Amino acid sequence: MSQVHSKVEDMKRWKAYLKKILRRSDPTPKGNLVRFEEQITGEIMQARDDTTFKDIGGMKQVKIALTEMVILPSVRSDIYTGLRTPPRGLLLFGPPGNGKTYIARAVANEVKATFFSISATSFASSRVGDAENLLRALFTVARKKQPSLIFIDEIDSILTKRCENDQEYTRKLKTEFFVQFDGVATDKSDRVTVIAATNLPQELDDAAVRRFEKRIYVGLPDLTTRQKLLEKHLQPNIPNPRSRILDVPVERIKPVKFEHFEKAKDVIKPSVKRESLNALEKWNADFGSFPNKELD
């Protein structure tokens, strides 16, 4: 019993410490902080569109996870408390071009949350010191405009495995991310969810993997999903690019036919190596939330 009491006290002290850090006075001039927050609001906070889950083919387990993690808690916050409190971090990993950004935008619309979308390379390419302030401003604005969903693409570019060769600003950026993330995760009053995406999950630091409690593999679409995608996009009267396209009236443009797919098959090659898929599938088996289930 004493051990349980000790762990509870440790957790209380850790929460108090995090809140103290998050409220600490910032050495950055106030004008610069305002500038970073304005940059977040103007460039990274995305206008809501009409994208929903219905627009996305396949990804069954991704939709289920997001429904349980974000959508249902936003509707029944009275139920999702205590041990039922959902995790605040979700990692989407898989080959590029399979809808990771698209589904993050859809869930933001489902819960009517403020949507922030940024590539982690934006932090990595910032001037020394600016990256930390930009990251801090991102979470600050997200808290002000909650419920919020922060989507960070290419998260592996800033949360790579720590090593002796890490530069000082790189270590500071990782530390700042962990501090801000832990502040969101431990303050249950915050309605901020962080979704990160990567094509290289095996490059992530162990501390980053631990914080993203849900880790879902977004793989290549299966046969059924591909069929649905084709049916959706191949509606009647979709124009087919031809020579002298600028001079051809719309009514004379022919629709796409099967013969065009046969020609395309001869020139379009796979964009993902088999070796890359094997590495992603192995990581999913080791760390994924759904390692042995069909994802579509």
Contact predicate 148/192, CB 8 Å: yes
Architecture of domain 30-220+276-287: 3-Layer(aba) Sandwich (3.40)
Comparing 7-11, 100-104, 246-250, the range with the smallest average pLDDT is 7-11
Q: Which DSSP symbol is given to 255?
A: B
* Domain residue limits, the chain: 30-220+276-287, 224-271
Angle at 177 between CA 118 and CA 126, to 5 degrees: 55
CA 70 to chain centre: 13
Could you tell me the pTM of the whole model? 0.74
Select from 74, 102, 71, 87 the least CA-distant residue to 289.
87
Instruction: Give the model confidence (pLDDT) of 57-90 as tens digits.
Output: 777 777 887 888 888 887 787 787 777 777 888 9
φ and ψ at residue 231, rounded to 5 degrees = -65, -35
pLDDT of amino acid 202: 92
Please state, rounded to an integer, the average pLDDT across all residues of the chain.
77
C-alpha–C-alpha distance, residues 258 and 263, integer Å: 9
HEC per residue, 6-65: HHHHHHHHHHHHHHHHHCCCCCCCHHHHHHHHHHHHHHHEECCCCCCHHHCCCCHHHHHH
**pLDDT band with cut points at 50, 70 and 90 for residue 197:** very high
